[in-house]
Chain A
Amino acid sequence: MALLGRTPVAPLEYSRTLWMRLWVGAVMIFLYAPLIVLMIFSFNDSKRNVVWRGFTTKYYEKAMANDALVEALVNSLTIAALATIASLVLGAVAAVMLWRFRFPLKGAVDGTISLPIIVPEICLGVAFLMFFAAVDWPTDLAWPFNLGAITIAHITFCFPFVTMVVRSRLASFNREQEEAAKDLGATEWQVFRDVLIPHIKPALVAGALLSFTLSLDDFVITYFTSGPDTITFPVKVYSMVRFSVTPEVNAASTLLIILTVVLTFIALKLQGVKAIAETH
Chain B
Amino acid sequence: MAEQDWKASKTSFAAVSVPTLLWVVIFFIVPMAIVWLYSFGENRGLTEIAISGTLDNYKRATEWLYLTIFGKSFAVAALVTLICLIVGFSVAMAITFASEKWRPWLLLGIMLPFWTNLLIRTYALMMLLGTQGFANKGLGALWEGTSWIKTLVGLQPLPTWEPVQLLFNNFAVVFGLVYVHLPFMVLPLYAALDRLDRSLIEASLDLGAGHFRTIMRIVVPLAAPGIVAGVMITLIPALGAYLTPDLMGGTDSQMIANVIERQFKKANDWPFGAALSFLLIYAMFALIAIQSMRRKVPEVH
Q: Is A268 an interface residue (CB 8 A)?
A: yes
**What residue in chain B is nearest A41 (Cβ atoms)?**
B127
Do B111 and A276 touch (CB < 8 A)?
yes
**What residue in chain A is nearest B117 (Cβ atoms)?**
A217
Chain A, range 210-269, C-beta contacts under 8 Å to B:
213, 216-217, 219-220, 224, 234, 237-238, 241-242, 245, 249-250, 253, 256-257, 260-261, 263-264, 268
Do A11 and B31 touch (CB < 8 A)?
no
Q: Which residues does chain A contribute within 8 Å of B198, judged by CB atoms?
A: 12
Do B114 and A127 touch (CB < 8 A)?
no
Proximity bits, A68-102, B CB within 8 Å = 1, else 0: 00000000000000000000011001101101111
Q: Lowest 4 A-B CB distances belong to which pairs?
A: A120-B240, A131-B31, A34-B124, A127-B31
Distance in angstroms from B67 CB to nearest chain A CB is 19
Do B127 and A253 touch (CB < 8 A)?
no
Proximity bits, A117-132, B CB within 8 Å = 1, else 0: 0111111001111110
Chain B, range 234-270, C-beta contacts under 8 Å to A:
236-237, 239-240, 242-243, 247, 257, 260-261, 264, 270
Q: Which residues does chain A contribute within 8 Å of B187, judged by CB atoms?
A: 277, 280
Chain A, range 126-141, C-beta contacts under 8 Å to B:
126-131, 134
Q: When A97-B13, A127-B31, A224-B264 are in contact, do A155 and B111 touch as well, CB less than 8 Å? A: no
A-B contact pairs, 25 of them (CB 8 A): A1-B101, A23-B94, A27-B87, A31-B113, A49-B130, A102-B4, A115-B28, A116-B28, A120-B236, A127-B277, A128-B31, A130-B270, A155-B23, A188-B9, A188-B11, A217-B119, A237-B119, A253-B120, A253-B123, A256-B117, A257-B117, A277-B107, A277-B187, A277-B191, A280-B111
Q: Is B63 an interface residue (CB 8 A)?
A: no
Do A237 and B120 touch (CB < 8 A)?
yes
B113 touches which one: A20, A32, A121, A253 (CB < 8 A)? A32
Do B274 and A126 touch (CB < 8 A)?
yes
Per the bound structure, the CA–CA distance linking A232 and B38 in Å amounts to 28
The size class of the interface chain A forms with chain B is 35 or more
Do B35 and A118 touch (CB < 8 A)?
no
A253 touches which one: B117, B179, B243 (CB < 8 A)? B117
B280 touches which one: A48, A100, A113, A122 (CB < 8 A)? A122
Q: Which residues does chain A contribute within 8 Å of B101, judged by CB atoms?
A: 1
Chain B, range 71-106, C-beta contacts under 8 Å to A:
87, 90-91, 93-95, 97-99, 101-102, 104, 106
Per the bound structure, the CA–CA distance linking A63 and B134 in Å amounts to 25
Distance in angstroms from B289 CB to nearest chain A CB is 12
Q: Is B208 an interface residue (CB 8 A)?
A: no
Q: Which residues does chain B contribute within 8 Å of A100, judged by CB atoms?
A: 3-4, 12, 16
Q: Which residues does chain B contribute within 8 Å of A96, judged by CB atoms?
A: 16
Do B288 and A118 touch (CB < 8 A)?
yes
Per the bound structure, the CA–CA distance linking A11 and B240 in Å amounts to 41
Q: When A120-B281, A241-B247, A260-B116 are in contact, do A24 and B106 touch as well, CB less than 8 Å? A: yes
Chain B, range 182-221, C-beta contacts under 8 Å to A:
182-183, 187-188, 190-191, 198, 201-202, 205, 211
Q: Is A13 an interface residue (CB 8 A)?
A: yes
Do B127 and A34 touch (CB < 8 A)?
yes
Q: Which residues does chain A contribute within 8 Å of B298, judged by CB atoms?
A: none
Q: Identify the B interface with A (CB < 8 A).
A: 1-6, 9, 11-13, 15-17, 19-21, 23-24, 27-32, 34-35, 38, 87, 90-91, 93-95, 97-99, 101-102, 104, 106-121, 123-128, 130, 132-134, 179, 182-183, 187-188, 190-191, 198, 201-202, 205, 211, 236-237, 239-240, 242-243, 247, 257, 260-261, 264, 270, 273-274, 277-278, 280-281, 284, 288
Per the bound structure, the CA–CA distance linking A263 and B117 in Å amounts to 13
**What residue in chain A is nearest B19 (Cβ atoms)?**
A93
Per the bound structure, the CA–CA distance linking A118 and B21 in Å amounts to 18
Q: Is A156 an interface residue (CB 8 A)?
A: yes
Distance in angstroms from B249 CB to nearest chain A CB is 13
Q: Identify the A interface with B (CB < 8 A).
A: 1, 11-16, 20-21, 23-24, 27-28, 30-35, 37-38, 41, 48-50, 89-90, 93-94, 96-97, 99-103, 109, 112-113, 115-116, 118-123, 126-131, 134, 152-153, 155-156, 159, 175-176, 179, 188, 213, 216-217, 219-220, 224, 234, 237-238, 241-242, 245, 249-250, 253, 256-257, 260-261, 263-264, 268, 273-274, 276-278, 280
Do B102 and A15 touch (CB < 8 A)?
yes
B120 touches which one: A102, A112, A220, A257 (CB < 8 A)? A257
Do A34 and B179 touch (CB < 8 A)?
yes
Per the bound structure, the CA–CA distance linking A52 and B113 in Å amounts to 25
Do B242 and A97 touch (CB < 8 A)?
no
Do A15 and B97 touch (CB < 8 A)?
yes
Distance in angstroms from B23 CB to nearest chain A CB is 6
Do B94 and A20 touch (CB < 8 A)?
yes
